[in-house]
Amino acid sequence: MAVTALARSTRENGGLRIDSVLRYSPWDAVLVGLSLVHAALLLAVPSVPVVGIGLWWTANTAAHNFIHTPFFRSRRLNRLYSAYLSAVMGIPQSLWRERHLQHHRGRHGHRRWTRAMTLETGVVFALWTTLAVAAPAFFTTVYLPGYALGLVLCFLQGHFEHARGTTSHYGWLYNRCFFNDGYHAEHHLRPGEHWTRLPRQPHAPAQISRWPPILRWLDAFSLDSLERVVLQLPMLQRLVVAAHERAFRTLLARIPPVHRVTIVGGGLFPRSAIVLQRLVPGATLTIVDASLAHIEVARRFLHASIEIRHELFDPGSTEPADLVVIPLSFIGNRDRVYREPAAPAVFVHDWIWKTRGGGVRVSWLLLKRLNLVTR
């Protein structure tokens, strides 16, 4: 049936064109192709990691996007691909889809059993039965442990995406590998939006983590946690401000006088704003922070004249400022900040071993340096 649909598309268009097969975007062909690679790896190097990590990756990329925006124009192709994913993942996709859409609706009710569910459950049952009979050792010692690993990874992914409210992660590497899955608050706001369009409209009030979901437990040891320790200890605050003031003073001497400064991520303990209030008292200071909670904590350290913008900083934008300050905890494409400075001068807090442009060491103890990039 699927072959017939493809052949018909070919005849009607005088040749097979990808946009005559795919409904939303030619980029979906990449997802389809990688899901075929998943099957090839299962056949070529069957192992617990391949089964488990493959299930987790496919569930959160190809399968997840296919649930919300079925890839093909042809219903037959969509049904065929759904059956294929059911076999590769070992999960009937129609059941997965129904459960996931109920998650988006915020309720879990009765599932109406459909013909597709029956077919896909039969596909999974037939595959498992074949494996159990033809390769019992592989089925019990490789496939089932790998399958369990994949389900655990999927559970952790879903848990940390919503543990503190729906949370986004804007790291470029994760969003390249997982096809913008990090834009999770944006996805929940517009679940029918194609994955290629999610980065165009970041949701400013969203909860944000600098870690992808599967590593989000590291938030317990994050820079924000260290910031909260500093908030409790005035002596540490004085040491931190003194170390940063020396670095800022050195770099300010290397650039023209500044009259307008934008400080990105100035919430919690706003050391950059405190230092710049002292060093350039006549300059207009603006703080840009996507976390309203962080802004509220920082206000008690700031002069009332400082402007605060509650929004997500776009590293590709141009700021109406002479100087932009980027924090060590910056969530986004740091390389782009270095390549395309948002102002004539940009101070970038970075790890002490990350020497980029001109820069100075802030503190060996803090493992931190302040880099200078200019247009």
pLDDT score, position 7? 40
User: For the chain, what are the domain ranges?
Assistant: 2-162, 225-374
The segment with the largest mean pLDDT, out of 204-208, 315-319, 340-344, is 340-344
For residue 112, count CB atoms less than 10 angstroms from its CB and return exposed for 0-12, middle for 13-18, buried for 19 or more. Answer: exposed
Whether the predicted pLDDT of 10 surpasses 60: no
**Which of 313, 268, 305, 314 lies closest to 285, judged by CA?**
305
Alpha helices in the chain (DSSP H): 2-13, 28-44, 48-60, 62-68, 75-89, 93-105, 115-134, 136-138, 144-162, 172-177, 184-189, 223-232, 234-252, 271-279, 292-298, 334-339
Mean pLDDT value across residues 197-210: 77
Which residue did the predictor score with more confidence, 76 or 234?
Answer: 76
Average pLDDT of the chain? 86
pTM here is: 0.64
CATH 3.40.50.150 for the 225-374 domain, yes or no: yes
Residue 200 token pair: 């165009």
Which residue did the predictor score with more confidence, 237 or 67?
Answer: 67
Confidence of residue 204 (pLDDT cuts 50, 70, 90): low
